Structure 1
Amino acid sequence: MKHILRVVTLCLVMSVMAFLPGCSVESESPAQEKAADQTPAQENSEAAEKNTYPDRAITMIVPYGAGGGTDTYGRMLATQLEKHLNAQITVSNQSGASGSIGTKYVFDAPADGYTVLFAPETLGTYRTMGISDLSYDDFVPISVVVNDPKLVVVSKNSKYNTIEELLADIKANPGKVSMSHSGPGGSGHNQGLILKELGYDVAMTAFDGGTNALLGVIGEQVDFTNPNLSFTTGYIDSGDVKVLAVFSNERIAGLPDVPAFTEALPESEKYLNVPLTPLSLLVKKGTPEAVIEVLRKATLEAFEEEEWTSFVSGNQAEPLYKKYKTQEEIYDFYHSWQSMICWLQYENGVAKISPEEFKIEKYNE
C-alpha cells in the first residue's frame, strides 16, 4: 500500500511540474533541439560570429617571387592584419605560370579563411591566356587594395636618357629593342602590348617575376623594363637604373621630374584610364560569410594604420580600396579591367582563347 502511494505521489508531482514555469519533463533540452535543427553550415557560421575565427595561423599566398611588387604589398598588409585579427599570418611565395600555381593552391585549399590569396591582376587573364580555368569569379574579394605605379626604366649605362629616345629607337628598329617582363599576361607584358598597339614593336622576354625582370635590365641582358615603383625605389636611389617615364596619364609626386608616358605619346591615354596593376586580397568562393566579414573588418582597420598609409603614400600607390568599396563595385571594376586587357591580349595574338567564350564584353573606349 505504501508503495502504491509513493507511485501516485510521484505521478502527481510530475504532472504539476509540467505546468510550472521553467520546469519540463521533456527528454531533450532546448539546446539539443536547436542543435538538431541546425545544418553544419549554420553551426560554422555561428561559430565564426562568436569570434572563434581565427583560432590558428593564417597563410597568405603570394603567387609571385619574393621582393616583387605583389610580395611587397602583401607582406605589409599581412603585418597590419595581424594586429586586428590577433593571429599570425604566414606569407608564402608560390610563383610560376604567371601566378596561376599559387592561385590554384588557394583554390584547392578548404574554403575556411585560413588560406588567403594576395593576387596580382593576372588572375583576370588566366582563362583567355589558356593558363588556367580560374578567374576573379572563383574568389570573393575582401578588398581591391592598390594600383602599384608602373615605370619605364633602363640601366645606368644605357644609351637612352629620355623616353623619346627609347621610343624613336623602337620605331626605327621594330622587334629589335628588348624588353623584360614578369611573365605572359602580366602588367609588364600588357605594357608591351600597348606599345605594339601604338605602333612600337619590341622584343619581349619573360622572367620569373618583376624583380628578376628588373635585374635583367640592371645586368644589361635586356634594354628596358616596366617595373612597379614599390620595389624599384632602392635601385633608383642607388643609381642602378634611370627612370624614363611613369606609365601613366599623370606625373607622380615622388618623381616630379619624370614625365608621364602620355607626355611623349598622347595617344596612349585611352589605355591608361583603367588601373593596370590592381592588387587584391581574396578568399575562395564558398568561404562562410561570417569569416569574410571578420576579414573585411580587419582589413579596413589595417588600412587605417599609420604604417600602412605611410607605405602607400611613400610608394605613390593609388589606394583603390578608397575607390571601390562594396563587393559589387569591386566586381564591376574587375569586369571592366578584363574587358580591356583580355581583348588587348587576344587581338595581339597573345591570348589563345577569345574573351567572347567567357562572355567578356569588349572594352568601350
Structure 2
Amino acid sequence: MLAGCLGDENGDGDDGTEPANGDDFPTDSLTWMIPWGEGGGTDTYARQMAPHMEEPLGQSIEIDNREGAGSMLGSEWLVQQDSDGYTFGTVNPPGWSFTWRAQEVDGWHPDDLEPIAHSGIFGYTLIVNDQYDIESFDELRDAYADGEISGFGYQGAGSDSHLTTLILQEEYGLEYDTAVPYDGGGPTMEAVISDEVAAGFATNTSAVAAEESGEASAVVNLMDIDLDDVFPGIDPITDYGDSLAWITEFYQVQVAPPDTPADVRETLSDAVRHACEHEDTQEWSEETGNIVEYGDMDDAADQYVGSVDEIEQQVDDVIGGFDEFQEMVEAED
C-alpha cells in the first residue's frame, strides 16, 4: 500500500547522503505535519509552539496541514517520509488509535511511528450557534427534539467523534436530525459559526476561537477535565450519564517516521520541552485553559504504543466492539 520512502537498510538517505545525527541536526528547515485542517485544536497547539521550537533548533518550522479521513491521510503520509528527522507530526491518541482501528487501515500500524514527545492534553466540547440561545445539554436535546434546530457536525467519518456522536444519540438522547462529518475542528467550528449546522464538536482549544467570533459558544464539556475557568458554567456531560473521557480526551503526541534515529528525536524532544516551558506558551495556557504538559520520548511512547489494543477493549466494554460500531454507522445511513 505504501511506497518505500524510508531510505535503505543502512539508514542512508535516498540521494546517498549520510543520515542526520544529533550532533549536526538540524541544518535545514523542518516540516511539522498536522493531520487536521487549520483552526482546530491540534493546529492551534502547533502554531503556538512552533516559533519557540525554532529558537533552540536554529531553523524554521513549516506547519503542513494534511487533513482527511479523520487524521489518517496525514498519518499515512508521515509514515512514508524520510527518517532523517526533518519531517515530524502530531497525533492524538487514543482518538487517533480508534480511527485507525475503525477504518481498518492497511499497510501501517500506529506503533510504527517513532516517539518524540507529548506537549499537552485536550478534548471535546459541544459548540452551538449563538442565535439559538442554548446554554445546556438539556436545552440542546430539547431543541433537536422540537425541530427548532437542524444539523449536527462531527470531526470525520469513522473517527472518535463519530462514535461519540452515535453514543450521544443512543445513550444521552441527542436526537439530531442530520449528522455531518467535517475534516477536523476548524471546519466543524466554521460550519457552526455560519449556521450550516446548528451545533457540533469542537476541541476545547478551538472552542475558544468559536467564542471569540461572537457567533458560537461552548455549552457542553465532554471531558472530565474542569473547563470552568475558560468557559464559566459550561454544562458537564457527566451530569447526564457516564464519563466519556476514554474517547473524548487525548494527548498531543509528536512522532517521527519509522527508523528516525533516537539522537535526532532527542533533539526535537528538547525543542518541544523548550516550547512548552517558554513564558509565552505558559501565558497562552493560562489565558486559554489549554493544558500544556511536556513528556519525553518514553512518555510519548506510553501514550500510543499498544493503544490500539486498549481502545479495542474500551469499545468492547462500552458498545460491544468495533463490529457493533460499524453496524451503528450502517444503521445511520
Alignment of 1:207-222 (within 5 A): 207-222=182-197
Aligned to 2:156: 183
2:290 alignment partner AA: A
Asked if structure 1 preserves the Cα contact closer than 8 Å seen for 2:49 and 2:281, the reply is yes
Residue deviations 1:69-88 (CA, integer Å, cap 9, x gap): 22111122222211111111
The Cα of 1:310 is off from its aligned counterpart by 2.1
TM-score, with length taken from structure 2:
0.79
Local SS of the residue matching 1:152:
strand
Q: 1:208 and 1:330 mapped to 2: Cα distance?
A: 23
Greater helix share, 1 or 2? 1
**Residue type at the aligned position of 1:114:** Y
8 Å CA contact 1:126–1:133 kept in 2: the answer is no
Which string of whole-angstrom CA distances, capped at 9 and with x for unpartnered residues, describes residues 137-177 of structure 1? 1101212322224221111112634221212455x479x95
Question: Secondary structure at the residue paired with 1:56?
Answer: coil
- 1:113-139: per-residue Cα shift (whole Å, max 9, x none)? 111112244531224313454332110
The residue that corresponds to 2:218 in the other structure is 243
Residues 227, 331 of structure 1: alpha-carbon distance in 2 compared, 3 angstrom cutoff:
closer
Partner of 1:261: 237
Are the counterparts in 1 of residues 117 and 253 from structure 2 also a CA contact under 8 Å? Answer: yes
Counterpart check, 1:145 vs 2:119? yes
Tell me the equivalent position of 1:79: 51
CA deviations 1:3-41 (Å, max 9, x no partner) are xxxxxxxxxxxxxxxxxxxxxxxxxxxxxxxxxxxx955
Letter in 1 for 2:116: I
| Structure 1 residue 129 corresponds to structure 2 residue 103 | yes
Distance in 1, matches of 2:62 and 2:235, equals: 39
Provide the residue aligned with 2:325 in structure 1.
Answer: 348
Q: Work out whether residues 222 and 248 of structure 2, in 8 Å CA contact, stay in contact via their aligned partners in 1.
A: no
> What is the aligned partner in structure 2 of residue 111 from structure 1?
83
Contact kept? 2:41, 2:205, Cα under 8 Å: yes
Cα distance in 2 for residues equivalent to 1:306 and 1:243: 27
SS of equivalent residue, structure 2 residue 120: strand
Distance 1:275 1:161 in 2: 20
- Counterparts in 2 of 1:81 and 1:133: CA distance versus 1, 3 Å: same
Inter-partner Cα distance in structure 2 for 1:218 and 1:41: 48
Looking at structure 1, the residues matched to 211 and 313 of structure 2 have their Cα atoms a distance apart, in angstroms, of 31
Question: Could you say which residue in structure 2 is the equivalent of 1:98?
Answer: 70
- Secondary structure of 2:277's aligned partner: coil
Structure 2 CA distance for partners of 1:180 and 1:192, relative to 1, 3 Å: same
Question: 1: distance between equivalents of 2:167 and 2:181?
Answer: 16
Letter of the aligned partner of 1:216 in structure 2?
A: A
Larger radius of gyration: 1
Q: Following superposition of structure 1 onto structure 2, how do residues 223-302 of structure 1 map, counting pairs within 5 Å?
A: 223-252=198-227, 253-263=229-239, 265=240, 267-269=241-243, 271-273=244-246, 276-302=249-275
Deviation per residue, 1:300-331 (Å, 9 max, x gap): 22221111222233332234535996355334
Offset of 1:240 from its aligned partner?
0.6
Distance of 2:69 and 2:285 partners within structure 1 = 28
Q: Residue 73 and residue 195 in structure 1: after superposition, are their counterparts in 2 closer, same or farther (change >3 A)? A: same
CA contact (8 A) 2:125 2:218 kept: yes
Change (3 A) 1:323 1:91: closer
Secondary structure in structure 1 of the residue aligned to 2:24: coil
Mapped partners of 1:141, 1:315: distance in 2: 27
Distance 2:150 2:297 in 1: 38
Change in 2 beyond 3 A, CA 1:194/1:84: farther
Residue 297 of structure 1, CA deviation? 2.0
Distance 1:274 1:323 in 2: 23
Structure 1 gaps, min length 5: 1-38, 353-365
Give me the whole-angstrom Cα distance separating, in 2, the residues matched to 1:313 and 1:336. 35
Structure with the larger strand share: 2
Residues in 2 aligned to 1:296 and 1:284: alpha-carbon distance in whole angstroms: 14
Q: Find the residue that maps to 1:61 and give its secondary structure.
A: strand
Asked if 1 retains the 8 angstrom alpha-carbon contact of 2:124 and 2:248, the reply is no
Q: CA–CA distance in 1 between the matches of 2:128 and 2:290?
A: 21
Identity of aligned residues (%): 21
Higher relative contact order (CA 8 A, sep 6+): 2
Query: 1:141·1:330 contact (CA, 8 Å) conserved in 2?
Result: no
CA distance in 1, matches of 2:315, 2:146: 27
Q: Distance in 2 between matches of 1:307 and 1:238?
A: 23
- What's the secondary structure of 1:233's corresponding residue? helix
- Tell me the matched-pair count: 307
Aligned ranges 1:4-83 → 2 under 5 Å? 48-49=21-22, 51-83=23-55
Q: CA RMSD in A?
A: 3.2
1:289 alignment partner AA? A
